[in-house]
Amino acid sequence: MPSNLSHPNFATSARIVDLLDDLTQSAGHLSEWLGVLLNEYRQTGEWDKFSGSVDAAYQRIQSMLGPAPDIVLRPFTIGPAAIPALLAYVSGQVNTVLMDRDLYHISQLPVQNTEQLAAALTSQFLTVGQPKRETQWPRMLPAMLSGRALLFMEGVPEAWVLDTAQPPAASISPSVAEPSLKGPQEAFSSVLETQMDQLRRRIPDPGMQFELFTIGTQTHTKVLLIHMAGVANPAIVGAVKSRLKGIRRAAVHTSNDIAEYLGPQRWTIFPQVRFSDRVDLVARNLCDGKVAVLTANDPTALILPNTLMDFFQTTQDYALPWSYATLTRTSRFVGLAIGLFLMPLYIALSSVNADLFPVQLLLTAAGSRLGIPFPPITEVIIMWGILEILIEAANRLPQQMATTIGIIGAVVVGTAIVKAGLIDSIMIVVATLSALSLFTIPALELAATMRWLFWLFVVSSSIFGVFGLLVMIIIVLAHLATMENYGVPYLSPFGPLRIADLKDSLIRFPMPRLRKRPIFLRTIDPGASDPLRVKPKTRLLRRQREVR
């Protein structure tokens, strides 16, 4: 017998039998499916319309969704006339307590026929929010799969779509990606309804408007466009809206899937949409007249339009006194300058324009480079490669191990690489300082841009020296000057110069002096605050009497 089983003919026969089984099953499914379709088509004259038959609905859902264990199809009868009905929903996505209560109420309705039932449901059925009536299957099923319950009643050619969705409980945690020393720490939840609630609590103003879009033919992802009516420029809101409407994708999994459609310039390396999971940052930007976009299942909000300057600002700047904010902002720009230009300058001076080096520094550099086998550009590539690996390793590891990796990278590799004579000591200093400086940029999306620029500058300066560096800076500046983000010049408030907006740019003026919303946003209501009219002069007496 074993010899027969291992015979090739036997194996081929087994495969043929399996194949025939599959074909038979598929033919059965197809026949069932076609039967349901034809049955409904005969009654309605349309392929996608619900016929009013509960049995047909049952079969159609079953045939379309297959044997899914989370799909609940619950036939029951309503009233003394025992009108057949069907409730369909996805378990785990609906509020079961609410469902049981409503189901009980519906089944007890004292109705004798479908007309009475429809009337009773319309007038008495108030327990669940936003009930809708739907006749088309292509709209019914996605609604059910996103947490709503479908109620079918025999003889009623429409289904009731009941808002029984229960969003998964998600705790509100502090922002990890954008930490702040002081002020609010709250990050967005992943659940869209909770996100809306978080914003509502910060801006309980009727002017805040939400507009829902469903994007993704597969994922049916809910995307919310939020703006402050009466503040945000309608042209900007309209432009974002039309872009959202124009997105045709099968799947939207993250907010970045949307963001890359919203940036007016597709091929620029400069970020146009700001990502943030901080509720306070989004709320502040909305109040300033910007537009936010929230994506279901992603705690990251998109804010737009933005200028280059916006990516250097954090909510911490507003949570701390103006003097501190100004200092930190300035240090960010100094960091940027060091991060972007220190390494290219070092390479330009040591590789090309040695005559521009101060002699003492040149001799020190030449001394430190004695015996180094690589030119400076190769050293940078090695150093930066190590740095990127360390960053990526630290990102992938738990916090405790990431610290260890940092120490290993900084101390062990850094020291060892100098001892091995692969990199000169000045290069270590310059590379470390450059890397640290680039990390002062608060927005992650801009940090990546700066790393690109860093490489552009390094390569141009290694070939053409200071001249190449200057040419590259001019090219980048020219590119920035041509950029517009929904009509907002990207270099605002510096180009074109907006004096009033400078108060909240490199520096931050005290709050009472920030009376205007950003001019470059061309908001409907430019005023953000009125001047402080009350200027009490407090006189303290030597013996203060109680005021009666």
Partner 1 sequence: MRIRRGFLRIAAVLSLLTGLTGCWANQSVDYRAIVLGIGFAPASHGRLAITVQVPNRNGLTGLTGANASASSSGPSVYTMTESGKTVGTGLVQIQGQTQDELYVGQVQLIAFSSRLDAKQVKLAENWLAQIGPLDKTAYVVATPHVRALFQKEPATGTLSTLQMLGGFSCVDCGVVTFRQHQWDLSIESLSPGYSLWMPYVTLTPTGFTSDRITVFRQEQPVWTLSPAETTNLGYVMGTTARGYLTVTENGEPVGIRFISASPHIRARIQNGRVHIDVTLKAAGTIDTLLRPTLSPQPLAQIEHQSERELAKQVLRVLTRLQRLGSDPNGFLAPLIWQSEPSWEDVSTWEQAYRQADITVHVVFRIKDIGDVG
Distance CA 193, CA 25 (A): 42
- Contact predicate 96/165, CB 8 Å: no
Alpha helix segments (H runs only) across 348-443: 359-368, 376-396, 399-407, 414-419, 425-438
Distance CA 59, CA 62 (A): 5
Among 368, 440, 492, 505, binds partner 1 (CB under 8 A): 368
Helix (H, G, I), strand (E, B) or coil at 276: strand
In the complex with partner 1, the residue whose CB is nearer, 393 or 418, is 418
Distance CA 392, CA 120 (A): 61
CA 449 to centroid of chain Cα atoms: 18
Among 370, 420, 540, 547, binds partner 1 (CB under 8 A): 370
Burial readout 313-341 (b: 16 or more C-beta within 10 A, e: otherwise): bbbbbbbbebeebbebbeebeebbebbbb
Site string for partner 1, 462-481 (x = CB under 8 A): -xxx-xx--x---x------
In the complex with partner 1, the residue whose CB is nearer, 103 or 463, is 463
Span from 69-77, 266-274, 344-352, 490-498 in contact with partner 1 (CB under 8 A): 344-352
Site string for partner 1, 371-410 (x = CB under 8 A): -x--xx----------------------------------
Distance CA 148, CA 543 (A): 70
Instruction: Output the smallest distance, CB 467 to partner 1, in A.
Output: 5
Rule CB under 8 A: say whether 423 interacts with partner 1: no
In the complex with partner 1, the residue whose CB is nearer, 382 or 519, is 382
Q: Which of 145, 159, 170, 22 is nearest to 91 (CA)?
A: 145
In the complex with partner 1, the residue whose CB is nearer, 365 or 430, is 365
Among 17, 27, 363, 410, binds partner 1 (CB under 8 A): 363
Instruction: Output the smallest distance, CB 452 to partner 1, in A.
Output: 18
Distance CA 344, CA 39 (A): 74
Among 1, 5, 169, 359, binds partner 1 (CB under 8 A): 359
Instruction: Output the smallest distance, CB 354 to partner 1, in A.
Output: 5
Rule CB under 8 A: say whether 364 interacts with partner 1: yes
Instruction: Output the smallest distance, CB 360 to partner 1, in A.
Output: 7
Q: State phi, psi for 182 to the nearest 5 degrees.
A: -135, 175
Span from 13-21, 111-119, 348-356, 445-453 in contact with partner 1 (CB under 8 A): 348-356
In the complex with partner 1, the residue whose CB is nearer, 420 or 534, is 420
Among 120, 354, 448, 500, binds partner 1 (CB under 8 A): 354
- Count of residues that interact with partner 1, criterion CB under 8 A: 29
Q: 524, exposed or middle or buried, with CB in 10 Å at 0-12, 13-18, 19+?
A: middle
DSSP, res 308: G
